[in-house]
Structures are given as structure tokens and as C-alpha cells.
Chain A
Amino acid sequence: MSHHTIEVADLSFTYPDGHQALNKVTLGVEPNEKAALVGPNGSGKSTLLLHLNGVLRSHEGSVCVGGLPLNDDNLGQIRAWVGLVFQNPDDQLFSPRVYQDVAFGPLHMGLDEKTIEARVSAALEAVGMGGYAQRTSYHLSLGEKKRIAIASVLSMEPKILVLDEPSAGLDPRARRNLIRLLQSLEYQTMLISTHDMRLVAELCSRTIVLDSGSVVANGPTADILYDAVLMERHGLETP
């Protein structure tokens, strides 16, 4: 892959119960750019992110990742490129032990054992969970689960990171470390959905505002985040 971009064009999505969650969403994220996706509860942020590695699929509009259109042929490749961290860590962890969960992605990609071990311990270290490899996933605290969920994606070394509220539920130190960690990943494209405006201010060069399933603003963070009227109108606040 020469350029790891995200391009979404005219994407609409309706849940099976008839609720339309996305309405003609168009947005793009440049290579190595870190973009924030903000908007009130229920505006469709999670729904949009779930489209970026094909967990949800829509027939209206298109999703292109790294220049490839998302379809059955490219699905495996796109899932190797895009690391998706779900909003709810219980949606992410499915193995009995932390180690197995973090090793799943690399194992599935067919990497060799040495590499996998190195990646797993690096990923766990990166989120400050070095000693947790042999713990059972389902009895961890919420913040611990969230950090393991992030590690389970970092171990795949994805070119594109899609994070759904990565800082929710983290204690101040873990949150600080997370921001630092994400800042250090210079060569990864990121799209981060969040309600944490300080994280946006520190990390993201661009901010996209979603409301009622549509993009209502898209521009440099400095312009959008400090536009008190705009933020107020969409149920948000300036940091």
C-alpha cells in the first residue's frame, strides 16, 4: 500500500429496525493524518466507524481504504490494514486469556511465532498492561479491558487506526499515556471518535462534526473546536 487513506462517499446506512443512522456521509482522511470525529450521543459515530473495516456494510455509497474499495475480495486485506477499537471493550475481547486476544490478529495474519511474541509484549507494554498476559479477559475492570482492547489492535501494527472513544473509562494517567502513545505513532492514519475535547485539541489536526447522521463541519481543529457557536449548536463544548 502506497498511501493509507480513508475515503467515504455518500454513505447512508439504515439499521434493520428502520432507524437511519447515516445520511450521505462524505469524508476523507489523508495518509498519516489524525482526524477527530465528534458529535452528540446517537449521531452515528460508532455506526460510521464500524463501516471502515466492513463490520457493517451498506449498499448506498462507498467506502475506500488505502485506495481499495471495500468489497468481499478486499475485506481480508482491509482488515489487516485497519485496526478497529470498538467503543465497548466487551465487543472486542473474545478469548479466555489476555495473551490469546492480543495474539489473535497476528496469528490470523500468519506471522511467525517470534514476531508474534515480540508484538504481543510490545503492545501490552504500550498500554501499560505488561503483567496482564495470563489474566482472564472477562474479569478485568472496564479501563483494563479498554487498554487490552487497544493492545489487541496495536499488535496487528495496522496502517490505519480507527478508535471509538479510546479514552472513555481510563484513569488520568492511562489517558495521558494513551495520548502520548497515539502521538508517537506518527506513521499511522487515525480516525478517532471521542467526547474528550482535550484529547482532540492535543492530538488531532482535523475535526469532523457529525450530527443526526450527517457531516455538519469538517476543518482544522483550531477553527472548529474553538467555534463556540458551532460546538454549542451540536451539543458539544470547547475544551
Chain B
Amino acid sequence: MAGAFQERYRPGDSRIHRLDPRIKTVTALLLILGIVLTPEHAWPAYPLIWALLGSMAEIGGIRAWRLGRMAALVLPFTLAAVALPFTMPGRTVFEILGLAASDTGLARFGAVVLKSWLSAQAALLLTTTTPFTDLLWALSSLRVPPTLVTILGFTYRYLHTLKEEAERLIRARDSRSGTLPGQKSGGSLWWRAQVAGAMIGNLFIRSYERSERVYLAMRARGYTGEMKGFSRAAPTINAMLSGALPVLVLVLIEVIAVILWSS
């Protein structure tokens, strides 16, 4: 649980950290778009894209292999595409349980996995170098509907509430889980299951009520449904160029991919 809910932002003072959040957001979106549009069979393009993301990570003070490992979090979701090799027509490569895997299907599946992994790296690079509030602000100044931004903000806020409440409950239970020498302790399996069940119910009610209190506290301080942030100057030309650079490199890779490797 700790892994999935962790605060992603890592404070730092790199070039990428200092870049205007609006530019970073647009760059990340364009990179993801580019990755998704990579021709399926252009295998040599993938390591190149990875090298691009990896070097950006290093500039941002994150080890490239760590970013890759963090992004592996999305791999289980690519299982949704696992039926592809068996449903697409093509030359049979191997068979399991009477199901034939086709070459085109396997290639498509491989491309889905690689693209998901690379896109996740682009997104993680954005969230590890940008505080979440800056990200929300960037989204709203890029004209994302305010309701959507607010929902995102609350979801993030309350994920932490939920995680904290869960940790507190578990800590409370462990702290009183004493054992006596020569005495069978820990209670029956049934009792332990009951305790765990009650804790989950408790977790829900407590998180719900705590989020209510957070909301009331925000109302009490004048919250009207709109997040206000500090206004910032328009991004400089220099910042725009820094944001455009990786996109241009990606476009270059894509052009080469289309010309050389897409047949």
C-alpha cells in the first residue's frame, strides 16, 4: 500500500524542478501522445525514447533505473491486453491450452506493454518534479474545467487521509498485541478476521468523517468551491524552449521510426 499511495514529489532544485509547471504539463502530455503514436513495429525506437526519458530523469535528479522501476507499477494493468495475441489473426507462433498466439497479436501486445511503461515514466517524471498543488494550478490555468481540477485535488487529499487513518488503526492494534509466555495468544482465526473486518468498517467511517471535518474547516476559512493560487507571470521564451526540446527530440525519433522501421 505504501508504494502505491506514496507522495510522488521529490523536492529538488534541478532545471526540471524549476521549469514552469504549465510547460512541464504540456511537455509531458505531448511526450505521452508521441509515445502512443509510435509505429508498432518500430522496435529500435523504444530504447531511444527510453534513453530520452532516462536522461531527462537524470537531469531532474532521479536515477533513470529508479524511474523505470517506479513505472513498472503500471505493468499489471497491461494484462487487460493479454487477450490480444490470441484474438488477432496472423501466423501462429506458439499454442497454449489449444489457443494459438499470432505474431501480429504478440507484436501488438509487446507494443502496448512498452508504450504503457514509457508513458508512465513521462507522467512520473512530471509528478516527481512538480508539487501537486502546482500541478493542479497548471491544469486550471490550461483551462481544464475547474470541477475536474477540484475533484482531482480532493481525491489526492483524501487518499492521504485514508492512508493515514489505515496506518493509525494498524498501529493501534499492533501496540496492544501483547503475548504472554506459555500462553496461546493472538486469538482465533475467526476473531482476528472479525477484528480486521471491524477495522475496515471503522476506517471507512473515520475517513469519511475526517474528510467532512476537513471540508468544514475549509468552508470556515472561506472556501467556495474554487481553489485560489498565487498568480504567476507568463512563462519565458527560455522556459518554453526547454520544454520544447524533449518534444523535438521525440518528434525526431518518431520521424526516423516512420521512415526506417515502420514497414
Closest beta carbon of chain A to B217's beta carbon, Å: 16
Q: Kindly list 7 other residue pairs between chains A and B, CB separation below 8 angstroms, not including A79-B177, A95-B202.
A: A77-B178, A77-B180, A79-B175, A95-B199, A110-B184, A138-B205, A153-B176
Q: How far is the CA of A111 from the CA of B187 in the complex (A)?
A: 9
Please, which residues of chain B bring their CB within 8 A of the CB of A95? Answer: 195, 198-199, 202
What B residues does A138 contact at CB under 8 A? 202, 205-206, 209
- Whether A213 sits at the interface, judged by CB under 8 Å, is no
Contact of B169 among A86, A94, A110 (CB under 8 A): A94
Minimum C-beta distance from B161 to chain A (A): 12
Whether A77 pairs with B181 at a CB distance below 8 angstroms is: yes
The answer to whether B263 has its CB under 8 Å from any CB of chain A is no
Chain B residues near A104: list those with CB within 8 A. 173, 176, 195
Task: Assess whether B185 is in contact with A110, with CB atoms less than 8 Å apart.
Answer: yes
Are A100 and B198 in contact, with the CB atoms below 8 A? yes
Q: Is A13 an interface residue (CB 8 A)?
A: no
Docked-complex contact A55 and B180, CB < 8 angstroms: no
User: Which residues of A in the span 152-178 have a Cβ within 8 Å of any Cβ on B?
Assistant: 152-153, 156, 158
The listed residue (B171, B187, B201) touching A107 by CB distance below 8 A is B187
Secondary structure of the A contact surface, majority rule: helix
Chain A residues with CB under 8 Å of chain B are: 53, 55, 76-81, 83-84, 86, 90-96, 100, 104-105, 107-111, 138, 152-153, 156, 158
> A76-B185, A94-B202, A138-B205 known; A105 and B178 CB under 8 Å?
yes
Contact B186 A152 (CB under 8 A): no
Instruction: Determine which of A76, A86, A152, A158 lies in contact with B179 in the assembled complex, contact meaning CB atoms within 8 Å.
Output: A76
Q: Which of A78, A91, A158 contacts B172 (CB 8 A)?
A: A91
Quick one: closest A residue to B177, CB to CB?
Answer: A108
**Which residues of B185-229 have CB atoms within 8 Å of chain A's CB atoms?**
185-187, 191, 195, 198-199, 201-202, 205-206, 209
Task: Please tell me which one of the listed residues A83, A91, A96, A152 contacts residue B171 in the complex, with CB atoms under 8 A apart.
Answer: A91
CA distance A55 to B178 in the complex (A): 12
Tally A-B pairs: CB < 8 A.
86
Quick check: A156 and B172 within 8 Å, CB to CB?
no
**Chain A residues whose C-beta falls within 8 Å of the C-beta of B179 in the assembled complex:** 76-77, 79-80, 108-110
A80: which B residues are within 8 A, CB to CB? 178-180
The 8 A CB mask of B132-174 against A (1 = contact, 0 = none) is 0000000000000000000000000000000000001101111
Task: Report the minimum CB–CB distance from B11 to chain A (whole Å).
Answer: 10
Interface size class of B (residues with CB under 8 A): 20 to 34
Task: Write out the residue numbers on chain A whose beta carbons fall within 8 Å of the beta carbon of B178.
Answer: 76-81, 105, 108-109, 156, 158
Q: Is B238 an interface residue (CB 8 A)?
A: no
Which of A77, A90, A105 is in CB contact (< 8 Å) with B176? A105
A105–B180 CA distance with the chains assembled, in angstroms? 11
Q: Which residue of B lies closest to A110 (CB)?
A: B185
Whether, in the assembled complex, B231 has its beta carbon less than 8 Å from a beta carbon of chain A, the answer is no
A108 touches B172 (CB 8 A): no
| Most chain A beta carbons < 10 A, residue from B175, B183, B198, B206 | B175
Q: Considering residues B169, B176, B185, B198, which has the most beta carbons from chain A within 10 angstroms of its beta carbon?
A: B176
CA of A105 to CA of B175, assembled, Å? 9
Question: A156, B176: Cβ atoms under 8 Å?
Answer: yes
Q: Is the CB of B202 within 8 A of A108?
A: no
Nearest B residue to A149 via CB reads B172
Q: Complex formed: what's the CA distance from A216 to B41 in Å? A: 69
User: Min CB distance, B6 to chain A, in Å?
Assistant: 11
CB <8 Å contact, A107 and B191: yes
Say yes or no: B183 contacts A110, CB within 8 Å. Answer: yes
- List of B residues within 8 angstroms of A78 by Cβ: 178
A93 to B195, CA, bound (A): 12
Q: Which residues of B contact A158 (CB under 8 A)?
A: 178
B197: nearest residue on chain A (CB-CB)?
A96
With known contacts A94-B173, A156-B178, A108–B186 Cβ distance under 8 A:
yes
Which chain B positions have C-beta within 8 A of A53?
A: 175
CB of A164, distance to nearest CB on chain B (Å): 12
The answer on a CB contact under 8 Å between A108 and B175 is no
Q: How far is the CB of A131 from chain B (nearest CB, A)?
A: 22
Choose from B175, B183, B201 the contact partner of A109 (Cβ within 8 Å): B183
CB-CB under 8 A from B206, the residues of chain A are 90, 138
Closest to B183 in A: A110
